[in-house]
Chains A and B, each alone.
Chain A
Amino acid sequence: MTGISVVVAEDGVLLRAGLVGLLERFGFEVRAAVDDADALRAAVASHDPDLVITDIRMPPTHTDEGLRAAVELRGAYPGLAVVVLSQYVQHSYAADLFGTGEGRGVGYLLKDRVVDVEEFVDSLRRVCAGGTAVDPQVVGQLVRRQDDPLSALSARERDVLGLVAEGHSNGSIARRLFVTEATVGKHVGNIFVKLRLPQTDDTNRRVLAVLAHLAGQGG
């Protein structure tokens, strides 16, 4: 898992340095670390990285420069994995981003997640492998505000649903909950039946189906 080339865009000097240190520590090859969206576009054009990690909120307007750049880059470079970091949960952000490239190779994480170093790197690798990473807090808020359809789920099934939505595979979920993969499979099956979602073994499709379901209920 070494040799993944990365371009980092983050306007906070300290966090940018921290991110670079973290990435290099785990064998990522950091090709450029920039501090605004224009520099990000330029860096991607000249360095052709595998992965882009960008802050959503950057100069000059401090609103969603990073996200717009990310969506653009996803259009311009098919196969480019992108992880956006946000200061807070924002649904429209997530929706915009997951609408690109069928939601493959996309991550939406809260900035605070960076400090859980191994999990953060794990999410990055999942995204680079074409997977999806959704911040647990985003999922948590989505799961929390649905009550009617989700009230049919047991507490354990809700936990599993959360992890599914974050982009974990059955194996990964089993390790986290300290249960067998078969048990997870059973829970997932139950969840999909209860929520009337189409069954699929593809982790990625599964995430999107669950997210779409949750988001759809919210609107």
Chain B
Amino acid sequence: MRENGPLTALEAVTWPRLLVSRWPWRSLVYLVSTLPLGLVAAALTLVPVVVLVTRWDAGTLEVSTALVLVVLELLLVVGLGPWFAPALARSERRRLRWVDGRPVPERPRPVDDVSATTDPMPSRYADPATWREVAWLLVLATAAPAAAVAALTFGLLVGLYAVSPLVLLAQRPGDQPVALGFWSVSTVAETVPFAIAGIVLLPVVGYVWTLVAGGAAEAARRLLVGAESEIRAELVEVSRSRARLADAFDAERRRIERDLHDGAQQRLVSLTLQLGLARLDVPPDSRAGQSLATAHDQAKELMTELRELIHGIQPQVLTDLGLPAALAELADRSPVPVEVDAELDSRPEPRVEYTVYFVVSEALANVAKHVGAAGTVRVTVRRASRAGTVTVEVSDDGPGGADPARGSGLAGLADRVAVMGGTMFLSSPPGGPTTLRAELPCGPEGAL
């Protein structure tokens, strides 16, 4: 997204342009930030273990003390872990974005788990997400900083190797030999193999950092986000945002219609009327009279155009009177004879109404184009309140063979229906008849 390349550090490892990208540096930041975070995590969780290990190491560990320490450790992790793990997990989620371009949702919660928000106490221990966070806390206290330290040390060493001749050159005679990892060197000549190794290994550092950071981030994501819940959350979010977009478009369309109708159209009618009146006071064959006549006629044409435009945006009859009237009007405009049978006990939501209208309007246009005025069309609209659906069916006795793949506007229609969470069926065997049927969710269940 940002770099038009890989989305995560782990993906970036196999990317040819890794070394010239920002990924190694992002990874470095991630690795460095692992250290303080890991320190905090260790301080919160590992004190009894550290005590245990130190004592055992010093040979002063008694069995009873060991038992106490183990119990203490368990209590710390199991009892208190769920309380401070979420805070650390939150900073980890924020940190993840440096090396992971995928969206990192906030802590996922079961959708139907209302108690999760009202009563944190039991749900904190009952929620599997909490225990994943505790698990991450332990990783953060142990493996993550260890890996980070290893990767950073490697980078530091390689860097040191690469510049070791310079270090030696900067030395005054008689200084201590310079330690390079397991070896130490005291002359510039000795540093040459190290410098060569350092320069050769320098690119590897980028890969190691990215790989380690990517691996840690992936582990963090697995534990903190959860692959499945993430996909589910993303799907729900995508559907929701699609529905929101469609809603926003609907609202915008209605607003434009209203604005045009209340503003431009009213003014234009008034203007045209004034022109019509002015015509009466001027001799029709005078030059002024002719200009006025032209202006009046043009204004009238513009009125018709504007009316058609507004009608195309959002038919006013639909807004005012609902589907039966709007469909009857649509049938009147169609060159093909249309029978409309629309029985609705109440008006569906505006966007459902508009979608039904849109389906019928497109279907009639298709019929007029492919079947011609010879056929007859039957439009049926029904509302099944219990099922929470509105069904619209348009059938014609034309030659059939309609194919959504051939770009007959049917695909766009199906999209329009799908946005509403509805389904569209098309039956059009060669020889006809063709039936287009759309089922749209409606009522409270309809809202996604």
Contact = CB atoms under 8 A, between A and B. Distances in A.
Contact of A112 (B280, B307, B325): B307
B280 A90 contact: no
B266 interface: yes
Given A15-B266, A114-B269, 7 more contacts: A14-B266, A14-B270, A18-B274, A21-B274, A117-B280, A118-B280, A145-B331
Contacts of A117: 273, 276-277, 279-280
A141 B337 CA distance: 12
Contacts of B331: 145
6 closest Cβ contacts across the A-B interface? A14-B270, A117-B276, A115-B272, A18-B273, A141-B332, A18-B270
Interface stretch (B147-155, B314-322, B361-369, B411-419): B314-322
Contacts of B307: 112
Interface stretch (B1-9, B119-127, B297-305, B380-388): B297-305
A171 B266 CA distance: 35
Majority SS at the chain B contact face: helix
A91 B325 CA distance: 9
A44 to B, nearest CB: 24
B267 interface: yes
Given A88-B329, A141-B332, A147-B337, A12 B277 contact: no
Interface residues of B, number: 32
Contact of B317 (A88, A114, A141, A145): A88
B321 A87 contact: no
A91 to B, nearest CB: 7
A112 B315 CA distance: 16
Contacts of B315: 88
Interface in A92-136: 92, 111-112, 114-118
B316 A115 contact: no
A62 B266 contact: no
Contacts of A206: none
Given A25-B280, A114-B273, A90 B337 contact: no
10 contacts: A18-B274, A19-B273, A25-B277, A88-B317, A88-B329, A89-B332, A90-B325, A115-B303, A117-B277, A145-B337
Nearest to A119: B276
Interface string A51-81: 0000001000011100000000000000000
B313 interface: no
Interface in B291-348: 296, 299-300, 303-304, 307, 311, 315-317, 320-321, 325, 328-329, 331-333, 337
Contacts of B267: 14
Interface residues of A, number: 30
Interface string B367-394: 0000000000000000000000000000
Given A21-B277, A25-B277, A63-B321, A112 B269 contact: yes
Interface of B: 262, 266-267, 269-270, 272-277, 279-280, 296, 299-300, 303-304, 307, 311, 315-317, 320-321, 325, 328-329, 331-333, 337
A190 to B, nearest CB: 24
A116 B276 contact: yes
B321 A90 contact: yes
A17 interface: yes
A12 B270 CA distance: 10
Contact of B320 (A19, A62, A144): A62
A112 B304 contact: yes
Interface in A1-36: 12, 14-15, 17-19, 21-22, 25
A105 to B, nearest CB: 24
B276 A115 contact: yes
A141 B334 CA distance: 10
Contacts of A63: 320-321
A141 B332 CA distance: 6
B303 A112 contact: yes
A214 to B, nearest CB: 12
A12 B269 CA distance: 10
A140 to B, nearest CB: 9
Contacts of A18: 269-270, 273-274
Nearest to B299: A115
B266 A90 contact: no
B276 A57 contact: no
Among B273, B276, B316, B331, max chain A CB count under 10 A is at B273
Contacts of B272: 115
Nearest to B320: A63
Contacts of B300: 112, 115-116
